Chains A and B, each alone.
Chain A
């Protein structure tokens, strides 16, 4: 346990940047500069915390509250670090991208956009580093409220109704979360995330079995940001927002906060043992499995690229839920890995969708014939992301899926033979991923656009749009290579550094869960 102020500084960066952005609204260049600077500062501060955590320490800073036993504060452990790394590193890239995107499309209200964006990151980082449920709730609500102006950015009737839906779902879910956390506090006197679960909660098991089960479902409803079915429809609706917002929602902050929360509940509040003995793992796995298959079927039917990606996100989030629900070391490992990996891959896909919109104004897949030739870099990056979603090497999606599959086999051996069914669910879902991603690639590269003769000219989006998506795509491959090259002693340190120690962090986190 190390006491450090760094988590506070990490939070303060976006918090201070937000009002600055608002004040500097009249000078767009300085304003955007502030946003990037804050992003870089945040990321470096997050990185600076990585060493103690790799040594197995936990960074803590907290303030006692009026409620006895509850301290509002931050505790950065390996798992929190994973999420913090993901969102803070992607924030820089998304900011650069947004600047190019918003200026190319001459979007209105850019100051409001960057202001809300900074606040959303503030919320996401707070969630990542929170030490207990109370702190997490505070930032969770901040995240919900601060993303509203982003979702309704267009201010059309459609955007507003999407925003209302977003609020109706997520703030209602916040009520369940609040109830759940108060009940945990009332029952146990603490809400701290504890390795192996809160012991006092486990002690309630045989006597108050149904209370615990209901409580768990309250938490599931409380983390509707994870967009599990049938409560997912806010997410596709929110696609009316500008593309960087979708990227933020899908990869950086919002939905990740949801799955992060559920993994926290499963592994650090309930604990693997209690989950197993209550049979909640199977219940959660069923929800996740259902979502995976159904979301993919929905995705196949979409022609709007962003909506298809939205359903793909719903599907991928449930991979993470499933991994946690398997309650085996490999399953949890896969789930935890998939948070950063999915973040990088999905953001690539969204950034590509946005780049296509900037360069050609096209939103529907059916209009994208031949686009691979006019926008080679973008579509190459898109292909990498799509491969990752389907779990095909050399994109990193393969590794998390591998562990998820291994986890389900393990669960079948240790928990119950029924769990083997989730291996097939995983494989079917991956197959369906292929079914809706490959046609996009096919259309883009191998179909000729109608009515256009001659060799098409290369016409990419502006560099500030293309570079970030190229970087995220590259990282999706680097993470994969890092996994392969890690066993080589000579390369290990460099590879680990380049992959931000994600694999080490995951190992430590899994070790904490299965103490």
Chain B
């Protein structure tokens, strides 16, 4: 198949073309915007699935843009990891776009066309970050997606403007750091191609510029992923953005930034570099561990549901970064991180969808007003509950699998770091209980706490059901079911070939055997 070879670039090109098409078609008829976005993202999803299949059977795909061979031309490199992330991103985007139809019609009736244009640009940026094998190209897509995200958040107006402004400042800082890192590396090696860099860098590991570049990358991307304590932009941005935007930036966008971090650490640099020159792995672990606890504690203090979820994301990003930090000591760490990219996207996507649904129908955002919601909005409440249980890590939901891998990694890390390893285990287990504390409070309100007004009629009077439109319920329920199904999948050995390929591609070694 000749066409199949061009899939990596098609994923991006059709997305970008769709953005302009939506703009033009939207001028003629506002109603055209949604179907175009839906179809485009669906096609992208199919392309990404085909790419994943091809990567898993044939190995890494190298695509030379315009036929220019690297290191002069831009190269797209897709191995098991980014094929996987691409699927996750596009799947979440697909869910979002289904969800967005009614949600945006209600929240932003005047900006529908522009919303879909920018949304499509955001997807373009995210896909670009995922597929590219060129560090400067990665920066370009990072900026495309970030600019789109600033606009999408600001569209809500009011407090969202301030949130977006904060995000612009912090996001730009992050991007600057990243650009500086890329510049330093270019100055030292004269190349921007990741594979080329990874070949040229090892002799230069002692070079201060290279080490500084690494730190720039790490800090810049930490801002982008909202790693504690660089998360300050994130809660406002997630809280005040339109519902569907919260979903997409909390799931797809955050995950892509994490992917970029993994890529820089393991593919541009290597584990040897981290271990011997910049002891950042242990530092990352500790920062992540503190972030897990701090994020959870901050989440407990919130009464605004979306804000609580935002802080919960800070904690969950900590899980992923902890996994990355543990990777040099245990291959399980990376497995946990990669698994949690998918798991967290599913869970948080579902939670934000449900939170958006509560706002959509009843205007409820304060947890204290949630009494009796379980009867009023059974489907949204059900989806929320499943995802929340999954976040707590009750088996066999997805959260449990991540926890299992990370605990195993921490235990293995005790061989090199006796104290820290057990500390991380304790952090992971404590965070389970903290998750329980803030999620169960919500579930209790939704289902069990009787409201004070006493409209809990005896004698079986029907409480008016007021669930959200079908197109919003479906993505929620799909995600909720996936929270369980994927959780079970992680427990089986089906993902094993994929995991082994990821570990081999990133040079992390193999899973330990007994």
Contact = CB atoms under 8 A, between A and B. Distances in A.
The answer on A and B forming one complex is yes
Interface of A: 63-69, 72, 108, 137-138, 141-142, 145, 149, 152, 155-156, 160, 163, 167, 171-172, 174-175, 178-179, 182-183, 185-186, 188-190
B440 interface: yes
B389 interface: yes
Given A142-B395, A171-B432, A171-B436, A66 B495 contact: yes
Contacts of B140: none
Contacts of A66: 335, 405, 490-493, 495-496, 499
A72 B400 CA distance: 14
A65 B491 contact: yes
A145 B514 CA distance: 33
Interface in B403-452: 403-405, 407-408, 411-412, 425, 429-430, 432-433, 436, 440, 444, 447-450
B49 interface: no
Contacts of B473: none
Nearest to B339: A66
B493 A141 contact: no
B36 interface: no
B396 interface: yes
B413 to A, nearest CB: 11
A188 B411 CA distance: 13
Contacts of A138: 395-396, 400
A167 B436 contact: yes
A68 B511 contact: yes
Contacts of A167: 436, 440
Contacts of A67: 404, 408
A160 B514 contact: no
A465 to B, nearest CB: 23
A188 B436 CA distance: 31
Given A141-B394, A141-B395, A183-B411, A160 B444 contact: yes
A141 B400 CA distance: 11
B513 A186 contact: no
A308 B392 CA distance: 34
Interface residues of B, number: 38
Given A65-B492, A182-B408, A155 B450 contact: yes
Contacts of B490: 66
A413 B118 CA distance: 81
A172 B435 CA distance: 12
Given A175-B433, A178-B407, A182-B408, A68 B513 contact: yes
Interchain residue pairs A-B with the least CB separation, the first 5: A189-B514, A138-B395, A175-B429, A186-B411, A64-B493
Interface in B492-513: 492-493, 495-496, 499, 511-513
A167 B433 CA distance: 10
A143 to B, nearest CB: 11
Interface string B55-77: 00000000000000000000000
Contact of A137 (B395, B425, B436): B395
A171 B495 CA distance: 29
Nearest to B408: A182
Interface in B327-381: 335
Contact of B408 (A141, A160, A171, A185): A185
B186 to A, nearest CB: 40
Nearest to B511: A68
A69 B512 CA distance: 11
A174 B394 CA distance: 10
A98 B252 CA distance: 47
A158 to B, nearest CB: 12
B429 A160 contact: no
B433 A145 contact: no
Contacts of A63: 492-493
B448 A160 contact: yes
